[in-house]
Amino acid sequence: MTATRGLEGVVAAQSAICSIVDGVLCYGGINIDELAEHATFEEVVYLLWHGVLPKRDQLTELQKQLGENATVPKEVIDSIRTYPQGVNSMAALRTAVSTLALYDAEAQVMDPEANYRKSIRLMAQTPTIIAAFDRIRKGLEPVAPNPSYSLAKNFLYMLTGNEPSDTAVKAFDVALILHADHEFNASTFAARVTVATLTDIYSGIVSAIGTLKGPLHGGANEAVANMLQEIGSVANVESYIRQKLDNKDKIMGFGHRVYKDGDPRAKWLRQMSEKLTAQIGRPELYQMSEKVEEMVTGEKGLKPNVDFYSASVYISLGLETDLFTPIFAISRMSGWTAHIMEQYTNNRLIRPRADYTGPVNQHYVPIDQR
Ligand code: ACO
């Protein structure tokens, strides 16, 4: 048996949710370029869950269900109040979502209808949890969700208590669409491995959140924001990146296991970054990013991934840096739940083998003789 490092190129299962063929990303067979241009995030959630775009009444029903289920049990909000100051935001999200399960009477019910209802609750309540966490740590009271708002608008509203602008809502909605699913990425695969034991959906989502947290996966967008802050100005890009490249450090937001010729999501975020950074009067954020891209692509041949320009987009929307990865989780909740439901419908335990490289023919040595 020979191991494939990082399972690169291994096809682990069949899936009808999302495809990446020749660098083209599709949800349910629809190119994400079309979805980013024309769809709403709620339409995409329906597409991922059902495999087809919703008709008008189906979309209205889903919007209603998401709105009605956005309120988080009081006990979960109270538990967030007990988190230590300065706690990692993804650790907080992981814990809060795990706590949600304790207050969901259907948490252990495994029929498909119950799992669909739980997917709606997870999708609807994750933004409420993140906004409440952010407000509580700032000494503010959480803002109750407005059931008539879209998921994107509601999240921005719950963070500040103010009506977000249409431009901000549209930009955030497109960012949610672009991050919604990505085939067997690390966190989705972790969720599928977890639920393939036939454990409950919350356990699968907690595995996924823990996996997304890492800097090689969802944590990269926050690392990019920190890097832009450290660079500080366009004039500093060259020396900063030169030093990183000479030290053989990884530049966050570049490279991808699947796309060697560019991430199709990045161009959307680049456009949004250019527009939004200009609108807030901080065009240097885009200019720095552009220059970083020029150097890293020019010297290493590495292209930006979804995380690179999402950093300056989220900064422009006034979002806290350490909420970038939790925001990724809001969007990816749609994909995670879609994959979990698909896994349940045609389940087989996921249990690969290891290529053993340790010692052989050893014997037990009594403790005093070791
Ligand atoms: N900066 C500098 N060099 C890089 C980078 C980078 N961002 N990414 C890859 N490389 C180099 C590696 O050092 C390696 O070089 P070598 O062959 O000389 O050793 C080569 O490119 C191949 O890289 P691997 O790490 O083996 O590629 P892998 O497919 O395992 O990893 C990953 C992909 C994790 C995305 C990697 O490119 C990376 O660490 N990027 C930075 C983190 C990041 O942006 N993650 C977000 C990914 S998108 C997402 O999850 C939403």
- Dump pLDDT digits (tens) for 333-365: 999 999 999 999 999 999 999 999 999 999 999
- The whole-angstrom separation of Cα 218 and Cα 328 is 7
pLDDT over 90 at 203, yes or no: yes
Token representation of residue 256: 């991808």
User: In this structure, is residue 297 part of a structural domain?
Assistant: yes
Q: In this structure, which residue's CA is closest to atom 35 in ligand 1?
A: 256
By most ligand atoms within 8 Å of CB, the mutation choice from 212, 302, 309, 327 for ligand 1 is 302
Atom of ligand 1 nearest to the CA of 179: 51
User: In this structure, is residue 21 part of a structural domain?
Assistant: yes
198 and 298, same domain (yes or no): no
Q: Which of these is catalytic: 179, 182, 256, 339?
A: 256
In the chain, what is the straight-line distance between the N-terminal and C-terminal CA atoms, in Å?
Answer: 32
Cβ(284)–Cβ(233) under 8 Å? Answer: yes
Segment (H or E) for 24: strand 24-27
Q: How confident is the model at residue 91 (pLDDT cuts 50, 70, 90)?
A: very high
332 and 184, same domain (yes or no): yes
Is the CB of 257 inside a 6 Å radius of any atom of ligand 1? yes
b/e code 325-355 from CB counts within 10 Å (16+ = b): bbbbbbbbbbbbbbbbbbbbeeeeeeeeeee
110 and 240, same domain (yes or no): no
207 and 263, same domain (yes or no): no
Is the CB of 307 inside a 6 Å radius of any atom of ligand 1? yes
CATH code for position 99: 1.10.580.10
Beta partners for 31?
A: 26
Q: In this structure, which residue's CA is closest to atom 30 in ligand 1?
A: 257
Cα 150 to averaged position of ligand 1 atoms, centre (Å): 35
CATH code for position 240: 1.10.230.10
- The whole-angstrom separation of Cα 132 and Cα 171 is 22
Beta partners for 90?
A: none
How many domains, the chain?
Answer: 2
By most ligand atoms within 8 Å of CB, the mutation choice from 254, 259, 306 for ligand 1 is 254
Domain enclosing residue 284, as ranges: 220-316
Cα 317 to averaged position of ligand 1 atoms, centre (Å): 27
Cα 128 to averaged position of ligand 1 atoms, centre (Å): 33
Q: Which of these is catalytic: 307, 322, 363, 368?
A: 307
User: In this structure, is residue 1 part of a structural domain?
Assistant: no
User: In this structure, is residue 321 part of a structural domain?
Assistant: no
Is 256 a known active-site residue?
A: yes
User: In this structure, is residue 234 part of a structural domain?
Assistant: yes
- The whole-angstrom separation of Cα 271 and Cα 16 is 30
208 and 308, same domain (yes or no): no
173 and 246, same domain (yes or no): no
Vertex 199, ends 98 and 349: CA angle to 5°?
A: 135
User: In this structure, is residue 115 part of a structural domain?
Assistant: yes
State the Cα torsion 59-60-61-66 to the nearest 10°: 90
99 and 206, same domain (yes or no): yes
Is the CB of 216 inside a 6 Å radius of any atom of ligand 1? yes
Checking phi first, is residue 22 left (phi over 0); if not, alpha (psi -120 to 50) or beta?
A: left
159 and 224, same domain (yes or no): no
Q: What is the tens place of the pLDDT at every residue in 263-295?
A: 999 999 999 999 999 999 999 999 999 999 999
Segment (H or E) for 27: strand 24-27
227 and 178, same domain (yes or no): no
Q: In this structure, which residue's CA is closest to atom 16 in ligand 1?
A: 248
Residue 31, CB-side half-sphere exposure with 13 Å CA sphere: 8
Is 38 a known active-site residue?
A: no
pLDDT over 90 at 146, yes or no: yes
188 and 229, same domain (yes or no): no
Cα 302 to averaged position of ligand 1 atoms, centre (Å): 9
- The whole-angstrom separation of Cα 264 and Cα 196 is 30
pLDDT at 60: 98
pLDDT at 12: 95
User: In this structure, is residue 182 part of a structural domain?
Assistant: yes
177 and 255, same domain (yes or no): no
Kindly report the average pLDDT of the chain as a whole number.
97
pLDDT at 252: 94
41 and 124, same domain (yes or no): yes
Atom of ligand 1 nearest to the CA of 245: 2
* Alpha helices for 103-165 (secondary structure H): 112-137, 151-160
pLDDT over 90 at 1, yes or no: no
User: In this structure, is residue 359 part of a structural domain?
Assistant: no
Cβ(129)–Cβ(76) under 8 Å? Answer: yes
